[in-house]
Amino acid sequence: MGLTASSTQHGFCKMNTLTANIKRALMFTTTTLLSVNVAVADIVIDSDNSAASLNTIIAPANHSQGAFSDNAGDAIEVNDTNGANGTLTITGTVTSAGHGLHILNNAELTAFSNGSVVESSGGASAAFYLQEDQDNALTNAGTIQNTSTGDGLRIDTEAQTTQDFTNTGTISSASGTAINADVAMTGAGNGFVNNGGTVIGGGGSAVDAEADFTLTNSGTITGRIDHSTAGVLTISQTAGSIAGDIFSTADGAHSLTLTGGSITGNITLNGTTANTFTLDGATINGNVDLGDGAAHSVTLTTGSLLGTLDLGANTTAVSINTGGGDSVTVTTFDSLIATVNMTGAGTFNATTFNNNSTVNQSAGTANITTLNIGDSDTYTQTGSGVLNTTTTNVGNGATLTLNNQGTGIIQGTADNQGALVFSGNYNTDSVLGTAANTLASVTVNGGSTLSLDQNADVTTFNNNGTVNQSAGTANITTLNIGDGDTYTQSGSGVLNTTTTNVGNAATLTLNNQGTGTIQGTNDGDGALIFSGNYNTDAALGTAANTLASVTVNGGSTLILDQNSDVTTFNNNGTVNQSAGTLAATTLNVGAGDTFTQTGTGVINITTTNIGLGGTLTVLNQGTGVIQGTSDNQGAVVFSGSYNTDAVLGTAANTLAFVTINAGQILTLDQNADVTTLNNNGTINQSAGTANITTLNIAAGETVTQTGTGVLNTTTTNIGAGSTLTLLNQGTGTIRGTSDNQGALVFSGSYNTDAALGTAANTLASITVNAGQTITLDQNADVTTFNNNGIVNQSAGTANITTLNIGAGDTFTQTGTGVLNTTTTNVGNAATLTLNNQGSGTIQGTNDGDGALIFSGNYNTDAALGTAANTLASVTVNGGSTLTLDQNSDVTTFNNNGVVSQSAGTLAITTLNIGAGDTFTQSGSGVVNATNINLGNASTLTLNNQGTGAIQGTTDGDGALVFSGNYNTDAVLGTAANSLASITVNAGQTLTLDQSSDAISVVLPA
């Protein structure tokens, strides 16, 4: 230290000692002349005789001193003239204005025992002045005190390194220093031992040491402990108290071992040498600064430091080893580069822990109000360690690793700082990061589970284990879910991210609305499950990072308005797609669930599987196979126009329903396998085969087949005003939705395999387009049948109200086909060939139109031609019989078989009866012809009056038989076309008033 009152007193002390010696020498000059350096006695009482009490005790005699008061000088002086002195015992109060007890250099006592008071009232003096290193221990059980500004105990000249000094009494200075040590005080190892005693520094310092000083305290020390200049300060306290600062400016390996008692004051150590600090049971009410000099050694076991522990800039090792059931408290812990090892099973308590180095906690519980982990520093928990904080601030590049359950807010020191690693299971009780102090990263290690029920604000969250989020909002820039790991949301938890990357075989389950892109870590990675309702605000998978799967759980609704790239999409709830493109390999719509597209949404899927009772509604053009999950499952609704690029249903996985909404167009150029197809709009089939159990075409709508499209149905129902146009061969019953509904157009050739219309569900119309051939071998029930091509009927019954055969077209009946019509209109140059009995009026579309051929037997039930719509021709083929009992209006009637007319009027321009054929009239039948030509060996039998010239087809052909009365109105045979014969049957009258040419005439007898 510098020049102080203490050092000044030392100077004065030496002068006073010299003066005392000189006085003593002068006192004895009358008897013996001695040097000032030679004493004749070792223990001198009142050496200057200022109190007129001079007494000399010759060594080695013991001395017991009672009460004594000296006016000046040393009350008791100990020299070493005759060797070691005996035991000095103080039994009364010894006081002096100078030194109370002065042991000179080289002086030794066998023992010192103070049971009373040694006192000095001198401001420059000491109550006990020790200048010799004693060979025997010194003990103070009484009081050593300076009642002024001087020292209680002063040590100089020779270091005390041999024996300890034990104080069980009191050492004090009223206004000075209690213990002033200019030389070392280390004793036999314990140095100054304050064993239950009291040390009081009234001037502020209890101890002022300028060399090595060892203090072993279990008593009471009041005042500062100042250590300066040089040497090592060693303090060991097992009990008692120190009320004052401990301050050393000396460079030395200082050591403080505090195992009990209390210290009220600050501890400050300086220098460049490593210090040792041990807190094992004491209480420190103040700060501890170990200095920045070197790598200090710090051990904290039990006790309390109710201030700041500053480890300095170079401390490398701190041990916190608190036993089970014990605790150590440090109000503020400051660590720079130290490695702090928490290994004990007890409890460490701190208000503020500034970790600017490394902390390894393997055991025990750390209860810290505020833990600050400095930039790039670490706090690593292993074993059974527990960390409970109110707030943990993790600096930039710093890492906090937690192995066990703890408590407290964990956040960045500033925004986007600090890494938090969960190496064990953890259940949050406070936030992980805040909006203003986000964590740079949170990592959940493999095999660990984080139960997240608080808010979290994190830049990067790496989940390599299990995260269960039941509450709170997690605001995360990037969430990475490792391969095979899970992030499961339940309760009220919310997850807001910018980007979530889901690893291979990893699963993210979302129960509540959140935000952010969710994609695979790599292409085709990760499963996303919506266990609650969700409205997308960003993509679900990207083109480069598709999701392996997306699943919408039962009862949940996904509103999809963003792009999605997914391998397998499992919809077991409800999906409403209003925008964005969903690109997936497989879309599975679960049983009873719905996927509804609105707005601008697009679905591009390789395969869509729709479960039983599930519905997919498609508004916009997309791609992919759409089929049932199993056979006859799923409904597809086209709420917008669509052009197929892949099949709708397959043979093994038919769709239960396909519906085209009103006003929409389905362009069908792929195969389709559907149980029920409801067309409420327009279908244009240009390719592919549509296998449909039931096709319903709503009123006013159309299904139009072009190209190579094929339609195979079990039943097609066509509504009122709607049209089915078939270009290619198909199958199935085609009928009206109700009676007399629907138009069927054959724009290509067709061979029926089932009915066209039924008795209860007739078709309103069938049209066979020009150039097309219909092979009709099934029943048909139609209101209007427009044949503008070719109809070949080989079987079945066609019940048609109106059959229109276009100009030049044909309707040919063979086999067992039956044609029942109300009216058949045969167009110009058109031909109707009937092989079997049918019904209905048959007439020309216009007057003189159409050819009617009977290729089989027929019995008329209605007119053949009418006055306004005559037939151009009627032909009865050879071998066929026409039973004619209705009116007929025909231009040319060619009878090459048998005609039996029993009723009606046959109005004919020309009747040609072929060779060997017969026309036999009976009943009320009438033939009115212009010309009747009878072929060779043919016979015309007339039973009733008629009209017209009757002649041979060639000269001498034909037999005319009158089986009833007749009055000619025209020739019977001509010169060029005579009749072979004319016969008037018995009882009949022929009134002949026209020319006749016949080879023979047979008249009744």
Nearest to 120 by CA among 87, 91, 144: 144
Give the C-alpha separation, 916 to 938, whole Å: 4
Give the C-alpha separation, 262 to 711, whole Å: 101
pLDDT, mean of residues 302-319? 86
Res. 11: pLDDT tops 50:
no
Q: Are 108 and 82 in contact (CB under 8 A)?
A: no
Quickly list DSSP for 281-310.
Answer: EEEEES-EE--SSS--EEEEEEEEEEEEEE
Nearest to 915 by CA among 897, 892, 941, 891: 897
Model confidence over 21-45: pLDDT tens digits?
Answer: 333 333 333 323 323 333 333 788 8
pLDDT, mean of residues 387-414? 98
Domain boundaries, the chain: 374-515, 902-1005
Length of the chain in terms of residues written: 1005
Model confidence over 477-517: pLDDT tens digits?
Answer: 999 999 999 999 999 999 999 999 999 999 999 999 999 99
Q: How many Å from the N-terminal Cα to the C-terminal Cα in the chain?
A: 186
Res. 6: pLDDT tops 50:
no
Q: Are 951 and 930 in contact (CB under 8 A)?
A: no
For residue 35, the model assigns a pLDDT of: 30
Nearest to 203 by CA among 2, 1, 5: 5
For residue 915, the model assigns a pLDDT of: 98
Q: Scanning the structure block, which residue is given the tokens 């005319």?
A: 960
Indicate the range of 138-142, 315-319, 350-354, 770-774 predicted with least confidence. 315-319
Q: What is the largest CA-CA distance in the chain?
A: 229
The C-alpha torsion from 261 through 266 and 272 to 278, rounded to 10°, is 20
pTM confidence score: 0.74
How high is the mean pLDDT of the chain? 93
Q: Are 450 and 430 in contact (CB under 8 A)?
A: no
Pairwise pLDDT comparison (565 vs 7), residue with the higher score = 565
Res. 663: pLDDT tops 70:
yes
Give the C-alpha separation, 860 to 862, whole Å: 6
Give the C-alpha separation, 39 to 774, whole Å: 158
Nearest to 653 by CA among 624, 631, 672, 675: 631
Q: Which amino acid is at 986?
A: A
For residue 314, the model assigns a pLDDT of: 81
Coil/strand/helix, residue 699: coil
C-alpha 501: how far from its chain's center?
9
Q: How confident is the model at residue 1005 (pLDDT cuts 50, 70, 90)?
A: low
For residue 82, the model assigns a pLDDT of: 66
Quickly list DSSP for 714-765.
Answer: EEEEE-TT-EEEE-S--EEEEEESSTTEEEEEESS-EE-SS-BS-SSS-EEE
Q: How confident is the model at residue 81 (pLDDT cuts 50, 70, 90)?
A: low
Model confidence over 192-248: pLDDT tens digits?
Answer: 999 999 999 998 899 999 999 999 999 999 999 999 989 999 999 999 999 999 999
For residue 94, the model assigns a pLDDT of: 94
Quickly list DSSP for 101-149.
Answer: EEE-TT--EEEEEESSEEEE--TT-EEEEE-S--SS-EEE-SEEEESSS
Cis peptide, bond prior to residue 60, ω within 30 of zero: yes
Q: Which amino acid is at 643?
A: N
DSSP-assigned beta bridge partners for residue 851: 831, 873
Model confidence over 191-207: pLDDT tens digits?
Answer: 999 999 999 999 889 99
Say which residues have a Cβ less than 8 Å from residue 901's Cβ, sequence separation at least 6.
Answer: 884, 885, 919, 920, 921, 922, 923, 925, 927
Give the C-alpha separation, 472 to 651, whole Å: 50
pLDDT, mean of residues 673-688? 97
Nearest to 699 by CA among 722, 716, 681: 722
Rg from Cα positions in the chain: 64
